[in-house]
A and B are shown apart, each in its own frame.
Chain A
């Protein structure tokens, strides 16, 4: 593609999934306890999509990457300080709730509207990236819903690899059962890709990229649009974390058989 791609990555800010998350009931429905106190990260699935987008843009002259990110403004700001050193992108911030209890349809409507309002975005060059799943919700439907709202018919989920063919078409590897991939060919943009983990490592922190990004990110954050996903269509009857009993021992250089044997013994004892 001679003019490059316009790659829009959807990525919400979520509480670090490695933290202990505890759902509670509030007058407005379920929420995470002390959510604003928890460290936040760019949704790990979406982060993979962002790194893949940056890589694709770097290898396709004339391409540009936007990150459309939904989250509380203070958390967005914190997270941008972490990821803005890694890859170049232009931020489209949306100040609103990114909790796992938000309705996927309402969230998709907000994100789709934000994408449509990006100035200069060329639909004929549009590749819409996002996470196949999310650390804050397991439904995995938000990207699909955004695509439907934007009229993007070529959608791929569980993507691990995207390769531009010499004729400009796109070869996509999608995860299927049994640890295998389904290979698809797509004529080109516009198309939607819900990424699994991809193949790229987390990029290094590069201060020069950070400096360049921040010149645009901070003004964008100051102008962040406040959004409120509709809530009336969804009602939770209850929310509870899975029952768990935790006992940890960190070991290294133990064979899989030994680990398995130890876990079986522990389960039998429990």
Chain B
């Protein structure tokens, strides 16, 4: 027996529980899987249609474990065409899902820089000048240009806006009330159980430990859940999916090279905000050219407003929170958002490699679904519906195999699940999108051109991928022209002495205006931690962020893990080794892909393990 993951300890006597299907992570993919599967568990007369193998004479035993403390505590921007979701719910009534509403108005907007602090290329500055000069000829107002059309591959006009948290709760409510399967929140899964080439189940995280994992009073070793099929839907930073990747590797030519951090606020708008329910805004160009943004107007005067910080944004000061505040303050948005109130806030890492990051979708005893399986479409910027659909496809495959009494082998899962997925719109569109973002490492304009090229040619013509992965810029490379070396060094020293991230000092020095805190919408990041959904960390769990080789951190500068940490849970510790405070962690996973060790050819020095707690908000 091999336990792939953190802290395998053969000396610990663990309890064991047998089920037929063990599922990890409750997001849209698992929602699709369990919804579809649950409809096949009973005959019309109410008798079990699919029998359990582990508990003969009972219905199929299906159990799902979710790390977060609630099933609706997901974090995501949520506008979707909902093709797969509507297929599962042909009579879908959006009124039944809080905060869901059809898309009524959709705009693509180029935001110019009203501050003069944004790091724009000469070409972009020239374009901005032209737009400002001839703006009256176009739809230019409030430092923004509303583009006259939205490329078809980006359009969501036939879809709906929703809160993924509320959608998850709605789905979970229907599933659990059926009594046919069980979904348990607050239960992190630490690792897959792998024997040879077969996944035999999962191991739950140990409870009753010190922060370093040492057993303490009330120690409860994580139970081993053994199952004929393990369904992995724990997202791109989940411990089980990454454990399987570590054990089996990725298919040749595939890599997890592109990421983004999505951070958003859920905002209560003032009564005369001027935003119609169902409005969807996609933005680019500000606060930095590499940063994309969005605004979705929900019912009840609520709106989701957020940005994406991609991994090709090479700046060493990658603070999503401050950039999000500057985004909110952009005049084009501020006219709607002024006097609004922050209701919730959150962040999440997005696996942006698309199908180029697809892992082995199946193997003996396991199958991958959702974002962690490479289902996100990086051209359309859509992931929820794709994830849902992959889950539904797996469920159809599972039912087929169970009815034929065939085992969950790699071969059988390929012939059923993978076959369905390859033949579906998810895969077809994902292949079109595969190389659509190749241009972004060269700059915004080439990136947009590359997207258009791929989108309008169906992926047949694309910009070639960069010959090598670009390293993140150093402070000197990025800011040397604006800040003299001696002053830059002084800022670095001050940040080190006060254990602070660098980004505020650097941004202030580069001309970014101070955020005018109003105590309602514009609040400190620490206030956002508390008012934006509250962050909680139940005691008795080990730290889930671990710096594997502290010595390697000592001289690492700038410390991107500190700069990028969404909850300021990672700070500069003594002797240069970052300190982790799990009581502030919102599980965004940004530290995982912002470790600079990999740039020097070493393995990442940050391990992101299974952990409990995080955000407590169902509004996200």
Contacts and interface: CB of A to CB of B under 8 A. Distances in A.
A171 interface: no
A18 B73 CA distance: 15
Contacts of B467: none
B184 A85 contact: yes
Contact of A211 (B17, B185, B530): B17
B503 interface: no
B17 A208 contact: yes
Given A81-B183, A82-B69, A246-B531, A205 B207 contact: yes
A167 B172 CA distance: 48
Contacts of B186: 82, 85, 205
Contacts of A60: none
Nearest to A18: B534
B17 A36 contact: no
B381 to A, nearest CB: 26
Interface residues of A, number: 36
Interface in B181-214: 182-187, 204, 207-208
Interface stretch (B4-12, B388-396, B612-620): B612-620
A143 to B, nearest CB: 27
Nearest to A202: B538
Given A37-B98, A82-B185, 20 more contacts: A18-B530, A18-B534, A19-B533, A20-B531, A34-B300, A36-B98, A77-B176, A81-B176, A81-B183, A82-B69, A85-B184, A201-B539, A204-B208, A205-B207, A207-B65, A207-B223, A211-B17, A211-B182, A248-B524, A248-B527
Instruction: Report which residue of B169, B218, B538, B540 has the largest number of chain A beta carbons within 10 angstroms of its beta carbon.
Output: B169
Given A20-B343, A82-B185, A207 B536 contact: no
A164 B300 CA distance: 53
B15 A208 contact: yes
B217 to A, nearest CB: 9
B223 A208 contact: yes
A38 B99 CA distance: 12
Given A37-B166, A202-B538, A78 B184 contact: no
Q: Give the interface size class of chain B.
A: 35 or more
B225 interface: yes
Contact of B177 (A34, A201, A202, A218): A218
Contacts of A82: 69-70, 185-186
Given A202-B538, A248-B527, A78 B17 contact: no
Given A81-B184, A248-B526, A207 B17 contact: yes
Interface in B80-109: 98-99
B534 A19 contact: yes
B187 A205 contact: yes
B57 interface: no
A207 B204 contact: yes
A157 to B, nearest CB: 28
A222 B618 contact: no
Given A39-B616, A39-B617, A250-B529, A206 B220 contact: yes
B464 to A, nearest CB: 47
B179 interface: yes
B618 A38 contact: yes
Nearest to B619: A37
A151 B184 CA distance: 39
A204 B70 contact: no
Given A81-B71, A246-B527, A204 B218 contact: yes
A25 B213 CA distance: 49
A210 B65 CA distance: 12
Contact of B526 (A20, A39, A211, A249): A249
Contacts of A211: 17, 63, 182
B310 interface: no
B318 interface: no
A1 B343 CA distance: 51
Contacts of B527: 246-248
Interface in A171-226: 201-202, 204-208, 210-211, 214, 218-219, 221-222
A222 B166 CA distance: 22
A16 interface: yes
B207 to A, nearest CB: 4
Given A18-B616, A37-B166, A85-B186, A207 B176 contact: no
Contacts of B208: 204
Contacts of B17: 207-208, 211
Nearest to A20: B531
Contact of A248 (B179, B530, B538): B530
A252 interface: yes
A48 to B, nearest CB: 15
Contacts of B15: 208
B44 interface: no
A179 to B, nearest CB: 24
Contacts of B539: 201-202
Contact of A16 (B98, B179, B207, B616): B616
A267 interface: no
Contacts of B437: none
B184 A222 contact: no
Contacts of B65: 207
Contact of B220 (A16, A204, A218, A219): A204
Given A16-B616, A207-B204, A207-B225, A246 B184 contact: no
- Of A201, A204, A211, A218, most B-chain CB atoms within 10 Å: A204
Given A204-B208, A204-B218, A250 B584 contact: yes
A238 interface: no
A256 interface: no
24 contacts: A16-B534, A18-B534, A19-B533, A19-B617, A34-B300, A36-B98, A39-B72, A39-B73, A39-B616, A39-B618, A77-B176, A78-B70, A78-B169, A81-B71, A82-B69, A202-B539, A204-B220, A207-B187, A207-B204, A208-B17, A247-B527, A248-B529, A248-B530, A250-B526
Contacts of B616: 16, 18-19, 39
Contacts of B225: 207
Interface string B239-256: 000000000000000000
A117 B198 CA distance: 51
A214 B63 CA distance: 12
Interface string A74-114: 10011001100100000000000000000000000000000
Contacts of A214: 179, 182
Interface in B504-529: 519, 524, 526-527, 529
Interface in B159-182: 166, 169, 172-173, 176-177, 179, 182
A179 B33 CA distance: 53
Contact of A77 (B63, B173, B223, B526): B173
A51 to B, nearest CB: 12
A85 B183 CA distance: 11
A19 B70 CA distance: 14
A3 interface: no
A74 B171 CA distance: 11
A74 B166 CA distance: 12
A245 interface: yes
B581 interface: yes
A248 B531 CA distance: 10
Contacts of B182: 210-211, 214
Given A77-B173, A77-B177, A81-B183, A252 B71 contact: no
A245 B619 CA distance: 23
A204 B207 contact: yes
B177 A221 contact: yes
